[in-house]
Structures are given as C-alpha cells and as structure tokens.
Amino acid sequence: MTRGTVIKRCSAIPWNAALRQAFSIATGSHASMENVLFRVELASGDVGYGEAAPAPHVTGETQNRTLLNLRGEARKLAGKDCADYLSFLPELHERLSGNHCAAAAAEMAVLGALSSHASVPLYSLFGGARTRIASDMTVVLGSVDEARRDAEGIRLRGIKTFKIKLGGDPDADFLRVLAVHQAAPKGVIYLDANQSYTAESILRLLRRLRRAHVEISVLEQPVPQEDWDGMRKVTRESAVCVLADESVQSQSDAVKVIRLRAAHAVNIKTAKFGLLRGAEMARLCSAAGLKLMIGGMLESAIAMGNSAHLACGLGCFDFVDLDTPLFVRDRITSGPLGPSSDGIYRLDRVKRGLGAAPCAASTRP
Ligand SMILES: [Mg+2]
C-alpha cells in the first residue's frame, strides 16, 4: 500500500494579482504581482502550496522560465515520499540553481503538505519558538507628499515600523524620511537603499538625519551588491545597524559578510534560499553575532506565510519585513494565515500546515 506521504501530483500555474499601488524601489517597479503558484498533493489527499516570486529587475528570474521549470519539477516529484524530503530536495535545488525562487516554491509546497499530513503547523518543523510576529510596512519610492500620505495610512493601520525605500537622491530622500518621521513621530524607521548610494553619500545622509533628530534603526543595502569595501566602510563608520540584502545571495556571501565584517545584519528571504537553507543561513549568521531580518520579494500570503512560519519556528529574527500581502488589492488567499491589517501574523490560529490557500476564484486561468 502507498504511504500517505507519497506525492500523487503537482502543478504550477501563474499567480497574478493587481496591487493597491505600484511597488517602486530604486532598481525597478512592479505594477502588479506576477508570480507562480506551486501545488503538491499527497496520496493521503493532503495539499501544500508554494509561491515563487521572480523579480526580473533584481535577480533576472522571469515568470515564464519559473513556470516552465516548476512544470518540469512537477513531473519529477510525482512518486517521491515527502517524509524523505532530504533525499530529493538538495538535487532539486541543484537543478534550479539559476532559479532559486522556483526551488523555494517546490520546497514550501513539499514541507507544507508534510506538516499538514502530520497535523502540525509548518512552524513546528523549525522548532516552534513563537507564534506571533509583527511586520513593518513599506513606504515605496515616490514624492514627499506620497511618502507623508503613505506613512499616515500605515500609522492608521496600527503598524509601528516604517520601511522607507530610498532612491539615491540625498535631498529628496532626506525630505521623504523627514515627512514620514513627522507623520509618525513615534514610529520605528528602517531605510532600504536597494544599492542606490555610495558609501560617502549615504554616510552624509545619515549624519544629516541625525542632526534633524530622526533616529534610524536599520539601513539596508546602502551600496551596490558587489561594493564590499563600501559595505565595510558604512558598517564601520555608521552608528546605524547596516544590513546586507542584495549582497547576500548564497551561503558563501554570508560567510564573506562575517569574515569582512561587511554588515551588522543580513536579510534572509525564502526566494533566495528556500526554507531549509534559509534556516541554516539564519543559524550561521546568528552564531556569528549578526542580526537577522526576515524579508521577501513581492509576494502574497502563500510565500510570506511560509517566511512567517520559518521566522516564528526559529525565533531568532530581529526585524520582520513581510508586508507585501498588504499591497495586494483583492483577497486572493483564504485561511487563518496572512498579515492582518495591522501587519501581525498570528500563527497560533494555524492548526496544520501553512494555514493559507488560494481562493478558488483567484486560480482560474
Ligand atoms: Mg531589501
């Protein structure tokens, strides 16, 4: 008799959604979400979902290529036993080494189906350290007035942490950050430059903000990803916690950050590492004294829910940036998981598996 944990079938479909507003950052802009949904069904009938979020302007991965790759993997996964996931997931990551978000989606679906079959929430596979985390919310690139309006909206939701995207123009960015600070004087401020500054110019901006009594909790990826000297300089000379995101695309990059002291913190994203390697990366960086952010690409509650389970399971994350489901215009997932309007993920409501599934209407071709 076939074990219940054996994969019966898998499928991959485009997972598109309209946004409330364009998600604009220094390296590009998304007018809509264009991801890929991956579904794994076990012999027992248990189902798991994963989501791949290709960001062509960041990693070069495309929705079409991701869809084709995942359809290829769907055929290879049929007949494998989810309970033995380490016997086939490393090879899958190897095959998809140029398309990390696809590998991550397959892994999410496999582990989601397995935890659902075991009748435990997904986070318990990672340790079950906690069941609740609160996300920041992003102030995307735009004018000073838009930054003020966005910040007021975020504050009214009850969200206390504001992640401001910087665009590389020090005067405009200064005024935008000041506008957010004035709209929410008690708010915690994270800055994400997405590689748009030089070390000297970002240090000048930080000094200017300090003189204006604007406190910054984290500065993410100030300089281009390959500018290791610049990362080191900002880390050395700034009183603000400097976080590496685009600079860390692999475990060896994380080791480089540790060795060169090129940041105080690292952004762990499932789209870059998947869940299992993401957990390894978190433990490695944490052991080396680095702080951790759990972040993501432009993702719905399927992928960000997976990240919330990872972060809650491990319990070692200092910064939570899982807000993009709040940018999706319509309700496209059902189930207890997803950030509520105030940015909080309440995983104690999830009894088994991921706790989020696509709404039937949103998966129609
Ligand atoms: Mg970032």
CA of 5 to the centre of ligand 1 (A): 36
The CATH homologous superfamily of the domain defined by 7-119:
Enolase-like, N-terminal domain (3.30.390.10)
**pLDDT tens per residue, range 308-340:** 999 999 999 999 999 999 999 999 999 999 889
Q: Give the number of other CB atoms < 10 A from CB of residue 77.
A: 21
CA of 25 to the centre of ligand 1 (A): 9
CA of 119 to the centre of ligand 1 (A): 34
**Fold assignment, 124-363:** TIM Barrel (3.20.20)
* 351 has a pLDDT exceeding 80: yes
Residues surrounding ion ligand 1 at CB below 5 Å: 192, 220, 245
* 57 has a pLDDT exceeding 90: no
**pLDDT tens per residue, range 106-158:** 999 999 999 999 999 999 999 999 999 999 999 999 999 999 999 999 999 99
DSSP E strands in 98-206: the ranges are: 132-134, 137-139, 161-165, 188-192
Could you give the CA distance from residue 7 to residue 42 in angstroms, rounded to a whole number? 4
Give the pLDDT confidence score for residue 29 in this predicted structure: 87
CA of 193 to the centre of ligand 1 (A): 8
CA of 138 to the centre of ligand 1 (A): 11
CA of 352 to the centre of ligand 1 (A): 30
CA of 221 to the centre of ligand 1 (A): 7
Closest by alpha carbon to 340, among 329, 351, 326? 326
Structure tokens at 310: 């990872």
**pLDDT tens per residue, range 18-52:** 999 999 999 888 899 999 999 999 999 999 999 99
Residue type, 102: A
Domain range summary for the chain, segments of one domain joined by +: 7-119, 124-363
CA of 289 to the centre of ligand 1 (A): 20
Calculated CA dihedral for residues 270, 275, 280, 286, nearest 10 degrees: 60
